[in-house]
Amino acid sequence: MKLIFSFALLVSFGSLSSFTHSSDIVVSVGEKLYKNYCTICHGNNGKLSIGEAPDLTKSTMNLKERISIIKKGKGMMAPFQDLLSEKEIKAISKYTMTLQ
């Protein structure tokens, strides 16, 4: 029950600023953020590869590398460090690892 309440709070506020619990919840939030910001180039399943966007299902990058690229951008990908929080960027990064 506590987990459901925490998730409801997280969804209500739309960020991870006050939520640091279960890794599964972080990945779930990362999926929602990914769908909002990343699917246009990477697709729902990570395989779209519009322009220079790599196929995320084939990526061998570790978590730290993924976080860095999302923060700073790369090639045609814009940086997200001024748009998303550290926790949101980490959540997206963790979610992209599930696409492999």
Q: What is the distance between the alpha carbons of residues 79 and 44, in angstroms, rounded to a whole number?
A: 20
Q: Which CATH number fits domain 22-97: 1.10.760.10, 3.40.50.620, 3.40.50.10140, 3.30.1300.10?
A: 1.10.760.10
pTM of the model: 0.77
Report residue 90 as tokens: 């980490």
Domain ranges of the chain: 22-97
Q: pLDDT tens for residues 40-56?
A: 999 999 999 888 899 99
- Please report the pLDDT score of residue 21 as a whole number: 54
Structural contact between residues 81 and 71, judged by C-beta atoms closer than 8 angstroms: yes
Helices (H) and strands (E) in the chain, counts: 5, 0
Closest CA to 29 of 45, 8, 47: 8
SS3 for 77?
strand
